Amino acid sequence: MSARGRVLALDPGSKRIGMAVSDETRTIASPLRVFTRRTGGLREAVAAVQRAIADTDAVEVVVGYPLTLDGEVGTQARNAAAFAEALRAHVQVPVVLHDERLSSFEAEQMMDEARVRKADRESRLDAVAASLILRSYLDAGEAAG
């Protein structure tokens, strides 16, 4: 039997967190929104994810894990893992890491092909990247729910 329930995907960065969500059947991955980090730091970011889980009825959270091109764990991957660990302590759904090498690059390319104006990109890029992370995760069949 296949997994059911929405999956929330996150593309965490130091300034913004892109969010995307699947449909109930885990067939479609759609950009949701971008949360801009302010002075509230980690607490504020965790609260934003908690709201997104509640708003979407997500049963699982996928956090993009940006390994280097060589598959090594660099600073960004360590930061993503620490963020995932903080989420695990504050949310009631499974939180998993998923390799997201090049998702932001792919999102930029997609926006170029769609001729999205540069002025509109920053507000959408991270959510599009999160949707690519989610699509990759769903295609890999790793969903827990």
- CA–CA distance, 16 with 87 (Å, rounded to integer): 16
Beta pairing partners, 65: 99
Q: Looking at the structure, give the CATH architecture of the domain made up of residues 6-140.
A: 2-Layer Sandwich (3.30)
| Amino acid making up residue 13 | G
At residue 123, the pLDDT reads 55
Write out the two tokens for 4.
């059911």
Check if the beta carbon of residue 81 is closer than 8 Å to that of residue 97.
yes
Whole-structure pTM value: 0.83
The model's confidence at residue 62, banded by pLDDT at 50, 70 and 90, is very high
Locate the domains of the chain by residue range.
6-140
Amino acid at position 102, single letter: L
Residues 9 and 21: beta-carbon distance below 8 Å: yes
Whether residue 133 is predicted with pLDDT greater than 60 in this model: the reply is yes
Q: Kindly state the average pLDDT of the residues 36-51.
A: 89
pLDDT at 1: 32
Q: Of 131, 97, 4, 20, which Cα lies nearest the Cα of 59? A: 4
Of 9, 20, 29, residue with least CA distance to 98: 9
